[in-house]
Amino acid sequence: MLLGKPQGLRWAALVPGLLLTVAGPVLMAEAPHGDAAAPGAGSYWRGIAIALVALVFWTAFAILNSAWLKRHPEVRATDWANWLGVATGLGGLLLWLAGGTSLPALVAQPGFGSFMAVCLALGFGSSWLATILWNIASQRLSASLCGQLIVSETLFALVYSFAWDGRWPTPAQWAAAVLFTLGILASIKAHR
């Protein structure tokens, strides 16, 4: 959000959205986590470090992708998503060939058919289709607003996490999710 700010947008307009968005993860990190076993301090800080590295990569992708798509309006969002998918698929294939499980061992695993169905559904829905929509948004919105909208991905991750754990969020976790959502809404308002 900070690196992709449009030139005419005042910094003060971004402050409410930023504060609400930062308050969300701070509250989530401090909230009691129900019955989930608390990880050790080393594991916790490794997780924080990995999250920060991911943040750097996602930020770079959002800014570079948006800039490239705006410089090339002749490229359709679907075509660009297809090429990103091909590149990602080839990279995944190379990683699998370098250190993955052999195909016969994978096929022998119980539930392999269900696993493949889930992979295909996720590949279509949350990768290909989501990338097309992200590319359309990148062509039409500033990188700062797109960067803030990606916070919605955190909300969906929380929903999946609570569903996986089979429990409802604690009141503090609900409050953190509300702060995330208010941060997104404040950012949309600032960019109008």
Q: What is the pLDDT of residue 39?
A: 55
Query: Looking at residue 163, what is its pLDDT?
Result: 92
Q: Which residues of the chain have pLDDT under 70?
A: 31-41
pLDDT of residue 114: 92
* Domain spans, the chain: 11-191
- How far apart are the C-alpha atoms of 14 and 1, rounded to whole Å? 8
- Residues with Cβ within 8 Å of residue 162, at least 6 apart in sequence: 168, 169
The pLDDT value given to residue 36: 47
Q: What is the pTM of this model?
A: 0.69
**For residues 179 and 185, what is the distance between their CA atoms, to the nearest angstrom?**
10
Q: 180 near 187, Cβ under 8 Å? A: no
